[in-house]
């Protein structure tokens, strides 16, 4: 009886506030495939200039890959790791190097880092504009997350002027 009464009260409260059309839908901004490709190409170019064979991925705001490229001699796990770095950045809305520092300092539980797809290694960088999350870029294959992140930042820098709105 108590549960039924709670359900009825919840239904009555919900019906007291009508849903307007603008509240029933969501509008969001996303990267175009061309801009995502430009970011990936710029990151790859930077890593090549630095002497690294890598994989680079851009994921959208929902963590779905938009563009993924693997240089011909990048390691076999590099594409998966690049996507997971970008996915982790979107999921936490933070750069993976910052997340890795938080795990090392104990601010974030190390157990969280062991969950599937969570990649708390440098190389994942959030793509935002005007306070709006657009996606993330992930790089994997350089000898260290700091080098992966430098390439990811080069990719972001290449498209920055197209993002500010």
Q: How far is CA 27 from the centre of its chain?
A: 19
Q: Is residue 127 within 8 Å of 31, Cβ to Cβ?
A: yes
**Are 130 and 164 spatial neighbours (Cβ–Cβ below 8 Å)?**
yes
| Tens-digit pLDDT profile for residues 132-159 | 999 999 999 999 999 999 999 999 999 9
- Which residues partner with 57 through β-bridges? 68, 138
pLDDT digits (tens, 9 = 90+) for 35-62: 999 999 999 999 999 999 999 999 999 9
Please state the pTM of the whole predicted model.
Answer: 0.85
Dihedrals phi, psi of 136, to nearest 5 degrees: -160, 160
């Amino acid at each position: 009886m108590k549960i039924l009464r709670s359900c009825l009260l919840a239904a009555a409260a919900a019906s007291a506030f009508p849903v307007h059309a603008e509240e029933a839908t969501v509008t969001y901004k996303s990267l175009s495939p061309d801009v995502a490709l430009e970011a990936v190409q710029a990151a790859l170019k930077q890593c090549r200039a630095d002497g690294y064979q890598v994989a680079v991925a851009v994921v959208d705001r929902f963590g779905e890959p938009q563009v993924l490229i693997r240089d011909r001699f990048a390691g076999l796990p590099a594409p998966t790791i690049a996507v997971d770095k970008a996915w982790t950045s979107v999921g936490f809305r933070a750069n993976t190097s910052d997340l890795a520092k938080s795990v090392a300092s104990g601010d974030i539980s190390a157990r969280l880092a062991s969950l599937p797809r969570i990649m708390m290694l440098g190389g994942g960088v959030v793509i935002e504009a005007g306070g709006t999350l657009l996606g993330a870029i992930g790089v994997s294959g350089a000898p260290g997350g700091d080098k992966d992140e430098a390439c990811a930042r080069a990719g972001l820098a290449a498209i920055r002027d197209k993002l500010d709105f």
